[in-house]
Structure 1
Amino acid sequence: MTSLESLRDSPNSLSVHYGRFGVAHRLLLTGHSHQAWPDVALDGQIEAFTDASSAVDDKWGPAFAKAEQLRQYYRDLVDDPGGDIALGANTHELVVRFLSSVDLRNRPRLVTTDGEFHTLRRQLARLAEEGVEVVRVRADPVDTLAERVAAEVDDRTAAVLVSQVLFETSRVVPGLDTVAEACGHRGVELLVDAYHALGVVPFSLARQGLTEAWVTGGGYKYLQLGEGNCFLRIPPHAADARPVITGWFAEFEDLTAKASGKVGYAPGGDRFAGATYDPTSHYRAVAVRDFFVEQGLTPAFLREVSLHQNELLATSFDALDAPPEVITRDRSAPREAFGGFLALTAPNADELKKGLAERGVLTDSRGDKLRFGPAPYLSDTQLVAAVAALGEVLA
């Protein structure tokens, strides 16, 4: 079973399973954006091709079985036994279907924050151009964000859309149960974006008071599932939702349109399904999930690893003693208040990213934020070397 000590060592004990990505010989600090895939991911893709070539059009039987295994994985990750889960290639298509299911005609108001990922930022901005009122609550200070979002909920609000972990700063948003309670009082739908939480910040609908919330996320980042593996959790009260944006896969089990004159929907998460898709990503995802299980990479253990790695990055950065006007970090809260990456504030963050890339350290930047995203397959030595390279760039 994998231990924290074995991951701290050089070479890292997991790195041997990521030979195709060469993680032992590369400083890949983009883990919050796109982690490397274990080699077994290729086995999943080959299995998908094998099923397609042998079964031809009958491949959908085994493909749907893989989809159900992926749904169960997401149920486990959000602590929702038996919950309804819809799958999609990306969160955008799922969020659009969600928005098409809420009552925007009679409640033309959406509440969100100015710290949301581009999926929400862009789509909500476009809806605002068409007359939907979009209220953007300032994300800072994070400690009062949930309370301020809850205060914006009124009888004209159709939905609230917020993140569990902010994608620019890595801050965990506390108190979302306050938002859920406000939404419940007003009959407002709450959508929580958990993409930057899953795999680094344990998520529990019950413990966090979010049993009536919609949840969206995916496996492209910390779960190492690659593209095409996103989900939407449908709360119990929305079991009969009828999204306007709908594909024919949403009627596989309920072909009642001709009988009733009304568009029919399949039960459960399938009512938010689209149309024909490439199932290869689900095969890959299930292979990686099995690998995580074999290696003991549970949400609790991954959180332990993430906190250690981010603390190491933070202390190594502090040791550089860089001028705060050049580059600094948020020291107002302990690392437990952050998600899976270290966000550094620098006016020329993009230039620093380029300088690091020239030295073999891959990071990314968003505006004035330079982001170091570790991953379980990186050793302590690699993390320290990455920050040392930043010191060279600053010099």
Structure 2
Amino acid sequence: MTSFKHHYRYFLEQHPGKLHCAPHSHHYWPDVTRQAQLDYWDDSAQGVDHKWDTIFGKRIPAVQRQLAELLDHPAPEQFVFAQNTHELLYRVISCFDPAKPLTILTTDGEFHSFSRQVKRLEERGNVTVVRVACEPFDSFSERWQAALSAQHFDLVFTSQVFFNSAVVAPPLSSWLPNVADDTLVMVDGYHGCGALPTRLREFADRIFYLAGSYKYLQAGEGCCFMTVPRNCQLRPEYTGWFADFENLAKPQQATIGYASDGLRFAGATMDFTALYRLQAVLDWWQREQLTVEAIHGYVQNLQQEFLKVIDELDHPLLNRSALLHHDLANHGHFLTFALCNEAQVLELSRLLREVGVETDSRGCRLRFGFALYHDPVDYQQLKKAFE
């Protein structure tokens, strides 16, 4: 089996003897991203104020094209960047009139960037949020469809892969045709993009798709993006000067203008170092012909090798009966074990950490992630925790 560890030498050398099983939380960066840091510095030194011409004229279009190819999206110009998905999420929400009632359909398995924000919105009194429980997973699709049919919603928000279980949500094709045309649909793709083969072509003009580089795109924090449907005429109230970059030097009109492409949801000045790192990762994948399909296949094999070790442990808590999943053949890039209480999770985490195995947890759920910088033999290290 091919090993990819030599592509992550800088990070791995900083953590000798460690098995990092939390790439779904903070992925190690491949070595190619180190030069990208310097490239941004050099472009800034050479361009100073004119560096924006390089960033908007060359770097952003290049990464837009790469992401569009990665996600099978027909319109690269509809990708807009921000430092985090929360910025982009709130720009979309700011398109709704706060004086009018707002109804939202979502799940109880969304990440805090969304779940915290909508809880705060509910304090307005005119915002209604319907949350469909993710579990039991076997019946989620039916319950989601029923909720969609029960009433009209202004906004539907769901994940591609749920962050606290790695269970894949029902495919868009199974429910999106049943959503009213005037309902705005957002999909959190953070745990899908770069991990699961994703094809947005069919839905490109219907949904807003959110993701970023912190996890499986391996470029670290600071470069998130959203796809915007073509011909979108929404006018986010939360807006910045990037949103009409082309007309910046022209006399400003009384009515605020917006770009005709995805940039209408852009914000203001940000550090684009992470975009350079992301470009370096995507360039590397293209040079090596390393597709998402190939990465996903590699990780699926790692997961099976990991589960063989789990079976050999025959541990009373850390075993397949505690594994949260719906279909391991169609699953995200981490495995989640649901234990009885948080104390059990903390104790297992401690034992694993003492032998150099880094995991992460959410309450009573212990999570193990998988990455290209793992080899199947690495998981033998788990046995040391229970000797």
**Structure-1-length-normalised TM-score:** 0.89
In 2, Cα distance between equivalents of 1:330 and 1:324: 10
CA contact (8 A) 1:255 1:265 kept: no
In 2, Cα distance between equivalents of 1:155 and 1:263: 34
Q: How does 1:48-197 map to 2 (within 5 A)?
A: 48-64=40-56, 65-83=58-76, 84-102=78-96, 105-131=99-125, 132-153=127-148, 156-183=152-179, 185=180, 187-197=182-192
Sequence identity of aligned pairs in percent? 35
State the SS of the aligned residue for 2:371. Answer: coil
CA contact (8 A) 2:24 2:216 kept: yes
Q: 1:52 to 1:334 in 2, by over 3 A?
A: same
State the SS of the aligned residue for 2:242. Answer: helix
Which piece of structure 1 moves more, 158-167 or 308-317? 308-317
CA contact (8 A) 1:107 1:158 kept: no
Q: What displacement does 1:176 show?
A: 2.9
1:375 partner amino acid: A
In 2, Cα distance between equivalents of 1:303 and 1:269: 29
Alpha-carbon RMSD: 2.3
Superposed CA deviations along residues 269-295 of structure 1, whole A, max 9, x for unmatched, are 110111111111111111121112222
CA contact (8 A) 2:333 2:370 kept: yes
2:383 partner amino acid: A
Which piece of structure 1 moves more, 259-268 or 290-299? 259-268
In 1, Cα distance between equivalents of 2:27 and 2:104: 32
Superposed CA deviations along residues 359-394 of structure 1, whole A, max 9, x for unmatched, are 111110011111111111211111232x324534xx
Residue 348 of structure 2, aligned match among 352, 357, 364: 352
Q: 1:256 to 1:106 in 2, by over 3 A?
A: farther
| 1:301 aligned residue | 294
Residue 287 of structure 1, aligned match among 280, 287, 300: 280
In 1, Cα distance between equivalents of 2:139 and 2:98: 27
1:152 partner amino acid: A
Q: 1:98 to 1:253 in 2, by over 3 A?
A: same
Q: 1:59 to 1:186 in 2, by over 3 A?
A: closer
CA contact (8 A) 1:143 1:173 kept: no
Which piece of structure 1 moves more, 317-326 or 226-235? 317-326
**Paired residues, number:** 378
In 2, Cα distance between equivalents of 1:57 and 1:268: 24
State the SS of the aligned residue for 1:350. Answer: helix
CA contact (8 A) 1:249 1:273 kept: yes
In 1, Cα distance between equivalents of 2:318 and 2:372: 32
Residue 38 of structure 2, aligned match among 46, 59, 63: 46
| 1:320 aligned residue | 313
| 1:226 aligned residue | 220
CA contact (8 A) 1:177 1:210 kept: no
In 1, Cα distance between equivalents of 2:204 and 2:101: 22
Which piece of structure 1 moves more, 16-25 or 292-301? 16-25
| 2:209 aligned residue | 215
Q: 1:15 to 1:326 in 2, by over 3 A?
A: closer
Structure 1, unaligned stretches of length 5 or more? 8-13
Answer yes or no: is 1:272 the counterpart of 2:273: no
Residue 365 of structure 1, aligned match among 352, 357, 361: 361
Q: What displacement does 1:149 show?
A: 2.5
Structure 2, unaligned stretches of length 5 or more? none
Q: What displacement does 1:142 show?
A: 2.5
State the SS of the aligned residue for 1:172. Answer: coil
In 1, Cα distance between equivalents of 2:188 and 2:104: 15
Q: What displacement does 1:236 show?
A: 2.5
State the SS of the aligned residue for 1:227. Answer: coil
Answer yes or no: is 1:16 the counterpart of 2:16: no
Q: What displacement does 1:45 show?
A: 0.7
In 1, Cα distance between equivalents of 2:324 and 2:225: 33
State the SS of the aligned residue for 1:79. Answer: coil
Q: What displacement does 1:352 show?
A: 1.8
